[in-house]
Amino acid sequence: MLIKHVKNSEVKPSEITSKSIFLNRRKFLQTAAIAGGISLLPKVITSSCASTRTKFLNVKTTSFAEVEKLTTYEGLSSYNNFYEFGTGKTDPARNAHTLKPEPWAIEISGLATKIGKFHLDDLIKPHQLEERIYRLRCVEAWSMVIPWVGIPLVDIIKRFEPNSKAKFVAFETLVDKEQMPGQKSRSLDWPYVEGLRMDEAINPLTLLAVGVYGERMPNQNGAPIRLVVPWKYGFKSIKSIVKISFVEKEPPTTWNIQAPSEYGFYSNVNPNIDHPRWSQKRERRITGEGGLSAIFMPKIETQFMNGYADEVAELYKGMDLKKFF
């Protein structure tokens, strides 16, 4: 077992980028990269918010960028699904302050050469972090465009050398009723669990995210580490992960356990297959501008595989997507 507690370094307030200069980020990032490495989870108090917010200083930019308008930080952190903090959309922002994302350990287990329990700082190093702008499309027909900070899941998977029997990757969220008071209710079976087929997990698009907008992940968005699978409905993006296992059989997934006729294992965004209770043809884009009234924004067309079909449609060649929904 390997749990190392890392002492965090302080970052000067002068080194923090304000939202207003975010659009100038490319230049900022170059400068920051020269400034050198910092711990993955340094503590910083920003002036714009009373709560603790942390800035990563050496995030690489990648070619995964969208030309669409970004959802504001306030928008993406105030309208959430995170049942561990309540079932209402604004519950997580109000309640997730009880989550302690530091220190954080993740157990890697199952069919691999290397397994064990690791401190997050040992699993992901700051120099590996990159920013990727991905759409997130919820099964409830709303979407956001978010600048995530993270590392490709494949980089972690390679390190642990899963063997040829490992056909799937299973994920689990923390269970702790004190930190996650929503778990006192039986709104879902705990822990929240999710899974990917191995070829989905090692696809270069699949991201383990530790932040948004160059900052540490807000608690309500799944601090300190969550999955982002941009071509799948948002519920595949499991939050506050404590366990990753390499397994032979398709693992159980929370929403499939909850309502198997409504949510399948694959959950690829597909405007041609309606949810039994509503259409998936369109979605409401939440920009965050104008606060939560933004949820009344006009709907836009939903794209097959959320617009990432060129990269991932090949994974499902020959599969009947009505059957494997």
Binding site for ligand MTE (CB under 6 A): 80-84, 136, 138, 173, 192, 221, 234-235, 237-240
Question: At 290, phi and psi to the nearest 5?
Answer: 80, 20
DSSP bridge pairs for 316: none
Nearest distance, CB of residue 71 and ligand MTE, angstroms: 9
Q: Which is nearer to ligand MTE, 38 or 148 (CB)?
A: 148
* Nearest to ligand MTE of 136, 153 (CB atom): 136
Which of 83, 308 has the CB closer to ligand MTE? Answer: 83
What is the nearest approach in angstroms of ligand MTE to the Cβ of residue 288?
Answer: 11
| Distance, CA of 121 to CA of 202 (rounded, Å) | 21
Q: Least distance (Å) from ligand MTE to the CB of residue 119?
A: 20
Distance CA 266, CA 317 (A): 13
Residue number with CB closer to ligand MTE (110 or 191): 191
Least Å distance, CB 26 to ligand MTE, is 25
Residue 208: CB minimum distance to ligand MTE, A: 13
Q: How far, in Å, CA of 33 to CA of 129, rounded?
A: 11
Contact of 241 with 194, CB cutoff 8 Å: no
Tokens of 108: 């890697």
* In the complex, minimum distance from the CB of residue 105 to ligand MTE, in angstroms, rounded to a whole number: 17
Task: Give the number of other Cβ atoms within 10 Å of residue 288's Cβ.
Answer: 19
Tell me whether residue 112 or residue 238 sits nearer to ligand MTE (CB atom): 238
Query: How far is 302 from 305, CA to CA, in rounded Å?
Result: 9
* Distance from C-alpha of 52 to C-alpha of 102, rounded to nearest angstrom: 12
**CB of 74 vs ligand MTE, minimal distance in Å:** 13
User: Minimum distance from CB of 100 to ligand MTE (Å)?
Assistant: 15
Between CA 271 and CA 282 the distance in angstroms is 7
**Can you tell me which residue has the tokens 């490319």?**
26
Closest to ligand MTE by CB, 91 vs 121, is 91
Q: Which residue in 132, 112, 168, 129 sits closest to 33, CA to CA?
A: 129
Q: For ligand MTE, which residue has the nearest CB?
A: 234
Of the candidates 229, 182, 186, 224, the residue with the CA atom closest to the CA atom of residue 204: 229
Taking the least distance from each CB to ligand MTE, the nearer of 221 and 256 is: 221
Q: Which is nearer to ligand MTE, 162 or 211 (CB)?
A: 211
Q: Which residues of 233-253 are buried (b: 16+ CB within 10 A; e: fewer)?
A: bbbbbbbbbbbbbbbeeebeb
The tokens for 262 are 């409504």
